[in-house]
Amino acid sequence: MKFTFRSSFLILLAALVFPTAPSFASNRQALGHISGNIKSPTGSPLNDAVVNIFKIAEEKRILAGAGIRSNPNGFFRAANLIPGVYFLQIVHDGYQTAFTGKFEVEAQQTTSLDITLSRFMESISNDEDPRNWDLIKVLRSSSDRRLIFRYLPAEMPGTSADRVMPFSRSGTMSLASATPLGGSSNQWASPHSSPNGVITNFALSEPLGPRSRMIFSGQYDFGVTSFWRVRDTIHYRPNGGNDYKVSFGYGRMNMDYAGFDSMTSPLISENQGLQTPSIQTIAFGIEGTTKFYDLFRIHYGFDYSRLHYGTDRSFLYPSLEIVLSPSDGWRFKTSFTSRRESDRDSVVLSTGEVLNLSEPTLVTMAGNDVSMSRVRHSEIAVERAVDRDTSIEVAVYRDHTYGPGMPLMITTITPENQTSAVVYLNENRSRQQGLRISLNRQVWSSLRGSIAYVYGEANSLSDVDESLTIETMNRDFRSYATQRYNHSITGQLDATIPDTHTNLLATVRWYPGNPVSPVNWFSDPMDIGSKSLNFEIRQLLPVQDFFTGTGQWEILLDFRNLLNQGEEILSASDGIIVLNRNPRSLRFGLSLNFN
């Protein structure tokens, strides 16, 4: 029976809509949950609202818990909470910060809350007492970002007057192994996404004071590649509207592993004479975030990277992001960056913050050949909430590559032998631009779906003369790669099984033809790149002591490019050339998040 993308998608949908799984209720009898919806006064869902959770302990102490964010449908959920008395703080750009009253979280029960936020400017104009000009109230209001409100106290439970959530000691760590399936071999590697081997990501947060902390983070990868890097970050938050970070990092990427010395090919030409055993990287970064009247947010900074491999090379990467929320349901964003987010190169802190561990410089290597590239990504996006369950986003983007860019593995197959090599497609100073349209919808409380259409440029092969020999095609391979516009459709289903605390993310990507470079690389944190079926499975371990004490253990399991590996086959008179950009792979491991 022929297995098509349509049939695979229907099977996937049925599996997610009618899930069956064993229950771990016996191990979770002492835990409760919180869920709810956050909306504007008009009933529109509020995406990306920060929900800070506080627990009232004995002796009237306030314990700061995790911070989570609402999804595009305004829905949020916090699981595995110790029963007790809680209250929430809700923060969203353009809206008045809100606090819930105290409520009880009971074992094996879910407390549901519907929260409506008031527009910031409307809250000011609705003040019933215009004569409220007391100097103390005016000074007090400037610190907690709400001008003059007579009947609200200067401090809410568990927060300071400027509503800065206190930092707490926490950490996270993940250990995962990736391996190709079906006998594929990876003959190139990059620190940005380890295709084969064991990779560890970690981050430790230590408070330095009520408004500052130090974050020590790093990565270690051992397999086809071998590299490590660490970064120390000082984070200072003077008030709720400003945030500053200064970081310094060092890393080393080893070159002396077996299997690479034999890789020689006329297709590889850059830096052939360098024989230094490792690459050393030094990184320095400054970034800041400022919120202006809660109407828009600006994030700015720069990264400096210095790499040593025989010679020194320096790179400077400025970054800027502006988010504007002028009215209910509308959001405008413009960004300029070189740092790409990837789920393999990031960790999530206990506060819900995503820490990006990748470096902006793209380093690739094969044998003794090392290439370093920069990619500058710029984007303008407009998002509109259609209703409380649906939102749509339209974005235009451009990627500007300096250097050879991402490599491509090619396999030459003739009746006599089979060899593999790596080729770069001359992407130096190339530009790729396109349009992306995304539709997101909350189907049920435990099921979300999205579909994205991209019309953008990518490298594709054309005008290949099948009468030529393999040797002739290899010598002039780059002449067959040209940039052209491609269509791409990506569908996702994100399902949660409440009883087992299992999260399933399934992704189906389809496009005509086989482009050999990413169509929209910066919007693909999962590194899929091929038209295929992909799964991400996250399972919390039912270990009582870790949930209520040290932290939470989670199993991660990823299947990538199950049906297609981005292959393009070129026929020659004496054999074939197979281009494999995304090998089928399995990634599995554990992660621990603790306070």
Looking at residue 100, which CATH number applies to its domain? 2.60.40.1120
Given pLDDT bands bounded at 50, 70 and 90, which one contains residue 399?
very high
**Is the same domain home to 191 and 88?**
no
Angle at 347 between CA 92 and CA 521, to 5 degrees: 85
Whether 570 is in a domain gets the answer yes
Whether 422 has a pLDDT exceeding 60, the answer reads: yes
**Is the same domain home to 36 and 126?**
yes
Highest mean pLDDT among 470-474, 490-494, 501-505: 490-494
% of the chain at pLDDT higher than 70: 74
Which pLDDT does position 290 carry in this prediction? 93
Which pLDDT does position 532 carry in this prediction? 84
Which pLDDT does position 278 carry in this prediction? 76
**Is the same domain home to 215 and 121?**
no
Question: What's the pTM?
Answer: 0.70
Which tens digits make up the pLDDT trace of 120-150? 555 444 444 444 444 444 434 433 433 333 3
What's the burial of 476, exposed, middle or buried (CB within 10 Å: 0-12/13-18/19+)? Answer: exposed
Whether 255 is in a domain gets the answer yes
Whether 592 has a pLDDT exceeding 60, the answer reads: yes
**82 or 505: which leads in pLDDT:** 505
Which pLDDT does position 124 carry in this prediction? 46
Minimal CA–CA distance to 505: which of 533, 541, 540, 542? 533
Which pLDDT does position 132 carry in this prediction? 47
Which tens digits make up the pLDDT trace of 251-273? 988 755 433 333 333 333 333 34
Q: Please say whether the beta carbons of 448 and 494 come within 8 A.
A: yes
Whether 14 is in a domain gets the answer no
Q: Please say whether the beta carbons of 361 and 406 come within 8 A.
A: no
Residue 163 vs residues 88, 113, 152, 160, 554: alpha-carbon distances, Å: 13, 22, 13, 5, 32
In the DSSP assignment, the letter for residue 256 is -
Q: Please say whether the beta carbons of 509 and 531 come within 8 A.
A: yes
Count of Cβ atoms closer than 10 Å to residue 546 Cβ: 17
Domain boundary among 99, 127, 143: 143
Which tens digits make up the pLDDT trace of 164-173? 567 778 888 8
> Buried b vs exposed e over 360-384: b needs ≥16 C-beta within 10 Å?
bbbbbbbbbbbbbbbbbbbbebebe
Question: Look-up: residue for tokens 């709810």?
Answer: 36
**Is the same domain home to 238 and 370?**
yes
Highest mean pLDDT among 3-17, 100-114, 183-197, 263-277: 100-114
Given pLDDT bands bounded at 50, 70 and 90, which one contains residue 176?
confident
Highest mean pLDDT among 74-78, 194-198, 344-348, 493-497: 493-497
Mean pLDDT taken over the chain: 76
Q: Please tell me the least confidently modeled range out of 33-47, 198-212, 542-556.
A: 542-556
When pLDDT is averaged across residues 17-34 and rounded to a whole number, the result is 49
How far apart (Å, rounded) are the C-alpha atoms in residues 35 and 51? 11
**Is the same domain home to 466 and 570?**
yes
Which pLDDT does position 224 carry in this prediction? 58
When pLDDT is averaged across residues 111-117 and rounded to a whole number, the result is 87
When pLDDT is averaged across residues 432-444 and rounded to a whole number, the result is 92
Whether 183 has a pLDDT exceeding 90, the answer reads: no
**Is the same domain home to 83 and 176?**
no
Whether 492 has a pLDDT exceeding 50, the answer reads: yes
**65 or 160: which leads in pLDDT:** 65
When pLDDT is averaged across residues 80-103 and rounded to a whole number, the result is 84
Given pLDDT bands bounded at 50, 70 and 90, which one contains residue 27?
very low
Which pLDDT does position 151 carry in this prediction? 36
Q: Which residues lie below 8 Å from residue 113, measured CB to CB, with a gap of 6+? A: 34, 35, 36, 37, 88, 100, 103
When pLDDT is averaged across residues 184-195 and rounded to a whole number, the result is 42
**Is the same domain home to 506 and 544?**
yes
Beta strands in 424-550 (DSSP E): 430-444, 447-461, 481-497, 502-510, 533-540
When pLDDT is averaged across residues 151-162 and rounded to a whole number, the result is 38
When pLDDT is averaged across residues 392-413 and rounded to a whole number, the result is 86
DSSP 3-state of 59: helix
Which tens digits make up the pLDDT trace of 517-555? 788 888 888 777 678 889 999 998 876 544 445 567 889
Minimal CA–CA distance to 110: which of 443, 446, 498, 389? 498
Angle at 44 between CA 43 and CA 48, to 5 degrees: 130
Given pLDDT bands bounded at 50, 70 and 90, which one contains residue 161?
very low
Whether 206 is in a domain gets the answer yes
Side chain identity at residue 368, one-letter code: N
Q: What is the CATH number of the domain that holds 363?
A: 2.40.160
Give me the torsion for CA of 292, 293, 294, 298, rounded to 10°: -10
When pLDDT is averaged across residues 106-126 and rounded to a whole number, the result is 72
Domain boundary among 143, 178, 197: 143
Whether 20 is in a domain gets the answer no
Which pLDDT does position 102 carry in this prediction? 85
When pLDDT is averaged across residues 65-79 and rounded to a whole number, the result is 79
Six-digit token pair at 42? 């008009």
Residue range(s) defining the domain that contains residue 353: 170-594
Whether 76 is in a domain gets the answer yes
Side chain identity at residue 232, one-letter code: D
Six-digit token pair at 118? 């008031």
Six-digit token pair at 376? 């500058």
**Is the same domain home to 183 and 129?**
no
Whether 312 has a pLDDT exceeding 80, the answer reads: yes
What's the burial of 336, exposed, middle or buried (CB within 10 Å: 0-12/13-18/19+)? Answer: middle
Q: Which residues lie below 8 Å from residue 479, measured CB to CB, with a gap of 6+? A: none
Question: Look-up: residue for tokens 């809509």?
Answer: 17
**Is the same domain home to 194 and 135?**
no
Whether 219 is in a domain gets the answer yes
**Is the same domain home to 192 and 75?**
no
Minimal CA–CA distance to 164: which of 183, 145, 192, 136? 145
Which pLDDT does position 120 carry in this prediction? 59
Which pLDDT does position 434 carry in this prediction? 95
Minimal CA–CA distance to 227: which of 256, 252, 201? 252
Which pLDDT does position 180 carry in this prediction? 63
DSSP 3-state of 33: strand
**Is the same domain home to 238 and 356?**
yes
DSSP per residue, 500-532: TTEEEEEEEEE-SS--SS-SSGGG-TT---SSS
Given pLDDT bands bounded at 50, 70 and 90, which one contains residue 393?
very high
Beta strands in 82-211 (DSSP E): 84-91, 98-99, 103-105, 110-116, 170-180, 197-209
Six-digit token pair at 210? 């009520």
In the DSSP assignment, the letter for residue 169 is -
**Is the same domain home to 108 and 197?**
no
Residue 274 CA from chain centroid, whole number:
34
Which pLDDT does position 223 carry in this prediction? 66
Whether 22 is in a domain gets the answer no
Whether 190 has a pLDDT exceeding 60, the answer reads: no
Can you state the percent helix, strand and coil of the chain, rounding each to 5?
A: 10, 55, 35
Six-digit token pair at 104? 């009880």
Question: Look-up: residue for tokens 């393009």?
Answer: 568
Q: 81: part of which helix (H) or strand (E)? A: strand 75-81
Give me the torsion for CA of 150, 155, 161, 164, rounded to 10°: -130
Q: Please say whether the beta carbons of 44 and 329 come within 8 A.
A: yes
User: Counting every residue, how long is the chain?
Assistant: 595
Which pLDDT does position 231 carry in this prediction? 95
Total domains in the chain come to: 2
